Amino acid sequence: MNILFFTNEYSHPNLPTTGGLGTFIQTISKKLTNNGHTVYIFGFAKKKITFNDGKINVYFIKKYTKAKPFSELARSISKSLKINKIQYYFLKKERKYYSKKLKNFAKKNKIDIIESFVFDGYNAFWDNSIPLVLRFHGSRGFWNYYLNHKKENLLIKLEKISLSNTKYNIAVSHFTKNAINKIYNIDVLKVIHNGVDVSKFKKIKNKDTFSYNIFYYGTLSDAKGVNILCEVFNEIIKIYPKAKLNIIGRGEKYKQHLINNVLSILSKKNTTFYSNIQHNDIPKILQNADICIFPSKNETFGLTVTEAMACEKVVITSNIGSFKEIIINNKNGFIANNHTEYIKYISYCFDNFDKALEIGKNARKHIVNNFSLDKLAFETIEYYNYVINDFNK
Domain ranges in the chain are 2-195+373-391, 213-370
- pLDDT at res. 63: 94
Task: Render 80-112 in DSSP notation, one character per residue.
Answer: HTT-HHHHHHHHHHHHHHHHHHHHHHHHHTT-S
Share of residues in the chain with pLDDT > 70 (%): 99
How far, in Å, are 151, 172, 287 from residue 303 at the CA level?
Answer: 26, 10, 17
Q: Which residue from 131, 134, 189, 190 is spatially nearest to 160, judged by alpha carbons?
A: 134
pLDDT band at 19 (very low <50, low <70, confident <90, very high): confident
Residue 206 confidence (pLDDT): 74
Alpha-carbon distance 251 to 254, whole Å? Answer: 5
Beta bridge partners, 351, equal none
What is the arithmetic mean of pLDDT over 304-331?
97
**In which band, very low, low, confident or very high, does the pLDDT at 4 lie, cut at 50, 70 and 90?**
very high
Query: Quick check: 20 pLDDT over 90?
Result: no
Residues 307, 317: Cα–Cα separation, whole Å? 13
pLDDT, tens only, 258-274: 999 999 999 999 999 99
Instruction: Kindly state the helix (H) or strand (E) to which residue 248 belongs, with its residue range.
Output: strand 244-248
* Whole-angstrom distance, CA of residue 26 vs CA of residue 17: 13
Q: Residue 278: its pLDDT value, please?
A: 82
**Mean pLDDT calculated for residue range 174-190:** 97
C-alpha to C-alpha distance for 299 and 356, rounded to whole angstroms: 25
Check residue 210 and give its pLDDT. Answer: 73
So what's the architecture of 213-370 in CATH?
A: 3-Layer(aba) Sandwich (3.40)
Fold match between 2-195+373-391 and 213-370?
yes
DSSP symbol at 318: E
Domain boundaries 2-195+373-391, corresponding CATH code: 3.40.50.2000
Overall average pLDDT of the 125-135 stretch = 97
